[in-house]
Amino acid sequence: MRTKVAAILTATLLTGSLLASPGTARAQLTAGDDLLAAARAGTSERLVSSRPSPAEVQRALVKIARASDGRVRLGAIGRSNEGRPLRLASVGHGPLRLLFVTQQHGDEPLGTPAAIRALWTLGVPDTPWQRALLKRVTLDVVVQANPDGAVRNQRYNHDPSATGDYAEPGVGYDINRFHNPLTPIADNPVPESRAILRLWHATRPRIVVDYHMQGRYVQPDGRETTASILWPTSPLVTDTTTSRQLAVRNYDAMTKLAGANVTRYPGGDYEGIARNAYGILGSASLLVELSELPEDQAEFQIRTAYVSMLATVQGAADGSLWRIDPARADTIPARGPSLPSATTHTEDAA
C-alpha cells in the first residue's frame, strides 16, 4: 500500500512521463499541477533585483528564513578573499542531498535571483507539496558563490596576486577552473572553490547543478537559444547516465514550462570545471547557461532557472528523474553560432 505522501506525489506532482508526452502535458498541467502553480506564484515574488548586490542577497535570505519558520536555514561555507561570507541556504531534511551553485562568475548573475525565488517557494508556503518534497530531499544552495566578482561585475574572484593557468593577472582566478578533485584541497589557491569542494565532501550530494550565463546564439532555424545545458564530458567520468537523465529533466521543464529554447552547451573536458569535477566525484552533474538576453528579458531568464531548480528538486524527490531515458540527452540540439549583433561575453566557457 502506498503511503499518503507517495499518493500525493503521484497524484499532484509533475512526473517524468507527463513531461515526456507534450501533447497531453499542457492540459494536465493547467488542471492544477503544483509545480506549475509554484512557478506562477514565483513570478510575482520579487525578493531581489536581477543583479543583486551581496547585501541585497543577505537581506532577501534573512527575510525568507524568518518567513519560513525555520525551514530555510542560513549559513556560510567560508569567506571570499575580501572577507565576504560565501552564503549557504538549505531547505528540507530528507536523505537525498542536492547542491545548487549560482554566480561563480560574478558577471553572470541571474541564477542568484532564481535561487532566492526557489528557496522562497520551497521553504515559505507549507502545503502538502512542500512537505512531501522536504521530507525526501535536503537542498543546499551556494547563493552567489563569487561575491567579490559580483560587486565588480567581473568573471574572476578578487585576488590581485593570482598567477598561473586560469588566472587573470592583477584581477583574480576563474573559480570554475579550480574544482579539480585530483588536487588536494589545501593546495587549491581559490577560497570559493575550496569551500564548495569541502561542502561537497561534507554532504555528498546526489545531484549538483551549476548556474551560469553565456552570450547570444542563433539556431539554423533562426530561433535564438535562450539557454544551454551540458553534463560532464571529462573522460574521468565513467558513467554519465544520471547526469544525462538530469539534463533531459531540465531540458523538458525549461522548454515546456518556461518556454525556453534550449541547446547543448559546447563545453570542455577539463576536470577543474565544476560540471566535470562533481561528475568525477560521483554526483549527477549539470551546467545550466542562461543566455545574456536584453535586460527586458531578465525575468524570463530568471524564470527559466527557477523552473530548472524546482523541476530538479521534484524529479529527485518523486524519483521520476531516475526513470528518464538518458539517451534522450543525445538528441538535445547543438548550440548554433553567435548572434552577429551580440556583444561577446568574456569567454563564456562555463
Footprint of Zn ion (CB under 5 A): 105, 108, 212
- Closer by beta carbon to Zn ion, 68 or else 263: 263
Q: How far apart are CA 198 and CA 219, in angstroms?
A: 39
- Closer by beta carbon to Zn ion, 35 or else 290: 290
- Closest distance to Zn ion from the beta carbon of 212 (Å): 3
- Closest distance to Zn ion from the beta carbon of 15 (Å): 32
- Closest distance to Zn ion from the beta carbon of 270 (Å): 14
Chain residue whose CB lies nearest Zn ion: 212
CA separation, residue 274 to residues 248, 316, 318 (Å):
19, 20, 26
- Other Cβ atoms closer than 10 A to 79: 15
Task: Give the helix ranges, DSSP H, for the chain.
Answer: 4-12, 16-19, 22-30, 34-43, 54-67, 111-123, 128-136, 147-152, 191-203, 241-256, 274-280, 298-318
> Among 289, 292, 295, 347, which one carries the catalytic annotation?
289
CA separation, residue 253 to residues 83, 95, 215, 259, 350 (Å):
37, 24, 22, 9, 21
- Closest distance to Zn ion from the beta carbon of 21 (Å): 34
- Among this protein's residues, is 192 annotated catalytic? no
Q: How far apart are CA 173 and CA 190, in angstroms?
A: 7
| Catalytic positions, written as ranges | 289
